[in-house]
A and B are shown apart, each in its own frame.
Chain A
Amino acid sequence: MEAAERALLEKTVRDALEGAPTGVDRVLAELGWLEMLASEPRDAVDVVFTALGATNATATVLDDVLAVALGLDPSPDRVVLLPPFGSWAAPETSGLATVRVGAVGELVVVSDGGRRRALVPAVDVAVTPVHGVDPEAGWCAVRVEGAGTDATALDPGVWDEAVAAGRRAVAHQISGACRTMLTLAREHAIERVQFGRPVVRFQAVRHRLAEALVAIEALDATLAAAWDEPGPMTAALAKASAGRAARTVTTHCQQVLAGVGFTTDHQFHRYLKRVLALEGLFGGADDVVTALGHTLIATRTAPTLVDL
């Protein structure tokens, strides 16, 4: 996508999400989300998930990303069972689902360690809304109580690619949320006066904000690499980078926002809670990093994944 076209898309999606506190899925559908996902998947996922993160809007488009990765046509009637919080293994009989699960007739379930894909009718699943730290996100805990129909054998690696697709999408969402948190903290630091001057003039405050920007830029570079060289490793690294950025940015921005960032009067708390939840989807950074370390040691290889 050309830079100008891409910038227009970013603005269009962002404006639409900011004007739509509810019904975000419908708004995205009207903007041509599924068509974009088919024709320009990189720009579609980047722009839409970044905007979701930046505006703290809630949507269920992650189901579409997973459906495509699992070889299915995405549709508003299709929901994919995600691994439980903190895991990236095939969900087998339990996991998380978007709020879309309450409105569809069947659920896509991957089991047998990623080798089997089946459709489980809604009557055979137990759905429990998860309140948790971020009730507005609408996550549901799902327990599968039937074997399902239309069982299909999946090629080895398909589930890993689906996890990679999910990780890229969630990492974009975290990136968008991190940029907004940094913007909020920056604005506060400029306006807030203590000791007779704006707190932004204190070097300790400036360095926290600088640290947050470094983390976000590192994440965005890693995301670009995850699209340039798509695969499970680069996606895992992007997701781990997102987890690290989330921790750095929330810590520094909350400290700069100080008292007001500790209240629900200020919107910072929504972003903090959203990234706390997103960080665990498809594995938290600590677990992903440790797993990568095991892979490197087991193969005695630290591969370079990007070259000039």
Chain B
Amino acid sequence: MEIAEFRTGLAAWLDEHADELAAPFAPPGTLDDQVEQMQRVKALLHAAGWMRWGWPERVGGLGGSPILRTELGAQLVGRDLIDPGIFSLVEVLAPTLVDFAPPQLAADVVPRLLSGEEMWCQGFSEPATGSDLGALTCRAVADGDPESAATWIVNGQKVWTSLAQYSERCVLLTRTGSTESRHRGITAFFVDMDTPGITVSPIEMINGVPEFAEVFFDDVVVPADRMLGELHGGWAVAMSILPYERSSCFWQRTAYLQRRLQLLVDVVPDDDRTAAVVGEAYLQLHQLRARSRATQHRLAGGATLGAETSIDKVLVATTEQTLYDAALRLLPGTVQFDDSAAGEAWRAEYLYSRAATIYGGTAEVQRNIIARRLLDLGEE
């Protein structure tokens, strides 16, 4: 399946099934609404095959380039069928299982995520471990010899775990070495969220949506065959997510922002001040798309993505905030005082956009990486 064929075929199918796919609520809806909508859309797409392209056949996929997945997400987001933030978890979590889970486990569970049967979450960050992931302390102890134990016992806390309250499973990073071992003493597990000892406590974000949660682990028993990758090999698992997050997810975010710019362009007056603000947002979006497209094609061509994607990250965060700043300036009072559904949506998204320079590695961390790795400026 080639990208051009996929694009036109998918667009035609989405047109044909537009009524069936449309959200049954006025945007933004509640988080419950959004999650239900996403799982419903995934189920329809999976049954029709679209959700399976770009995934390997050994996990129930139809094969083809991962670029097909990126295109799918972009079209769904561009039509406002799903929220890109919560949909991006597929791209963040499924490749981890494909690459690091025992083959039978991956074959069993990945189709459940793709088809909307299950939700998964990512247990990485901790209260004392934001940008500095290598300092995490949520501990997993082998019940016996680490090399042969049948089970591991997990104790600790995660935070900023998106959609934990909806999730059946969690890709969890744990400390299995000494704290001083930092990134060399981390191990990843695939944990069932209904295991006794797990408590989920949602956190309300600045826009009122409880997307995140704290997750507490109290003597949680995890079978050893749920280990992802090697013992003490969790850092490699965590880092393997980066290429997908920095390619597919960013491209889908761009499609989402493009749609928001279109909503502005639909209604704003044609004067010089407005045109300058619209033009600036358009320029930044175009730069981001140009950069992100090149990144997709490098990945598809077999390149290993690395520190240079910090450029993409800076661009996506800057563009997102510029776009919502434009909305704030060009839709007077909408974010602040408009209680219609459209006003609610702009308000929720504007407030969410402030996090773009914080999550996924802060703007400052990205600039540190650019300075150290791309400009070769040495240590601070």
- Other-chain residue from A186, A201, A224 in contact with B294 (beta carbon distance below 8 A): A224
Minimum Cβ distance to chain B for residue A114 (Å): 22
Contact of A308 with B70 in the complex, beta carbons under 8 Å? yes
13 example contacts (A-B, Cβ-Cβ < 8 A) are as follows: A182-B375, A186-B375, A202-B380, A206-B371, A206-B375, A206-B377, A221-B290, A290-B272, A292-B282, A296-B275, A296-B278, A302-B258, A306-B290
B280 in complex: contacting residue of A186, A203, A289, A298, CB < 8 Å: A289
Q: Is A308 a contact of B274 with CB atoms below 8 Å?
A: no
Nearest CB to that of B287 among chain A residues?
A218
Q: Mark A203-244, 1 if CB is under 8 A from B, else 0.
A: 100110111011001110110110000000010010011001
Whether B314 sits at the interface, judged by CB under 8 Å, is: yes
Residue of A nearest to B371 (CB): A206
Q: A302-B258, A306-B290 are in contact. Are A213 and B374 (CB under 8 A)?
A: yes
How distant is the Cα of A294 from the Cα of B377 in the complex, in angstroms? 42
Residues of B within 8 A of A209 (CB): 371, 375, 377
Determine how close the nearest CB of chain A comes to the CB of B327; give it in whole angstroms. Answer: 13
Taking the complex as formed, is A151 at the interface, i.e. its CB lies under 8 A from any CB of chain B?
A: no
Q: Is the CB of B283 within 8 A of A240?
A: yes
**Residue of A at shortest CB range from B363?**
A207
Contact residue range for chain B? 35 or more
B278 and A207 contact, CB distance less than 8 A:
no
* Complex CA–CA separation, A214 to B375 (angstroms): 11
Within B261-304, the residues touching A (CB, 8 Å) are: 261-262, 265-266, 268-270, 272, 274-280, 282-283, 285-291, 293-294, 296-297
A1 at the interface (CB under 8 A from B): no
Per-residue CB contact flags for chain B residues 347-380 toward chain A (1 = under 8 Å, else 0) read 0000000000000000010111011101101111
Is A190 at the interface (CB under 8 A from chain B)?
yes
CB distance from B60 to the nearest CB of A (A): 24
Chain A residues within 8 Å of B128, by CB: none
Given A201-B380, A221-B287, A221-B291, A293:B279 Cβ within 8 A: yes
Check if A61 is an interface residue, CB within 8 A of chain B.
no
Interface flag for B71 (CB, 8 Å): yes
Beta-carbon contact of A217 and B377 below 8 Å: no
- The CA of A240 and the CA of B290, in the complex, are separated in Å by 14
A307 at the B interface (CB under 8 A):
yes
Q: DSSP class of A's interface residues: helix, strand, loop or mixed?
A: helix
Q: Does A291 contact B (CB under 8 A)?
A: yes
Contact A210 B276 (CB under 8 A): no
The smallest beta-carbon distance between B254 and chain A, in angstroms, is 9
With an 8 A cutoff between CB atoms, is A164 at the interface? no
Task: Report the bound CA distance from A240 to B278 in whole Å.
Answer: 14
Residue of A217, A241, A307 near B283 (CB, 8 A) is A241
Q: Does chain A have a CB within 8 A of B67? A: yes
Asked if residues A302 and B265 are in contact (CB atoms below 8 Å), the reply is yes
Q: Contacts A221-B287, A297-B270: A302 and B282 contacting too (C-beta < 8 A)?
A: yes
**Mask of A48-80 contacts with B, CB within 8 angstroms, 1/0:** 000000000000000000000000000000000
> Is A305 close to B, CB under 8 A?
yes
**Contact A206 B270, beta carbon cutoff 8 Å:** no
B315 close to chain A: CB less than 8 A: yes
Q: Smallest distance from the beta carbon of B340 to chain A beta carbons, Å?
A: 21
Q: How far is it, in angstroms, between the C-alpha of A294 and the C-alpha of B70 when the chains are bound?
A: 31
Residues of B within 8 A of A194 (CB): none
Q: Which of A259-308 contact B (CB under 8 A)?
A: 286, 288-294, 296-298, 300-302, 304-308
For the complex with contacts A190-B378, A210-B370, A297-B268, 12 further pairs of A-B residues with Cβ separation under 8 Å are A207-B368, A211-B367, A218-B291, A218-B315, A221-B291, A225-B293, A240-B283, A293-B282, A294-B272, A297-B270, A300-B265, A308-B3
Interface residue A170 (Cβ < 8 Å from any Cβ of B): no
Q: Check A289 against B265 for contact (C-beta < 8 Å).
A: no
Q: Is the CB of B71 within 8 A of A217?
A: no
Q: Which of A202, A222, A224, A300 is B266 in contact with, Cβ under 8 Å?
A: A300
B290 / chain A contacts, CB cutoff of 8 Å: 218, 221-222, 224-225, 306
Identify the closest chain B residue to A218 (Cβ). B287
If A221-B291, A308-B71 touch, whether A200 touches B3 (CB-CB below 8 Å) is no
A213 B311 Cβ-Cβ under 8 A: yes
Interface pair B278/A297, CB less than 8 Å apart: yes
Cα separation A304 to B258 with both chains bound (whole Å): 8
For the complex of A and B, the 8 pairs showing the least CB-CB separation, nearest first, are: A293-B279, A293-B275, A289-B279, A206-B371, A225-B290, A293-B278, A210-B370, A221-B291
* B368 touching A292, Cβ below 8 Å: no
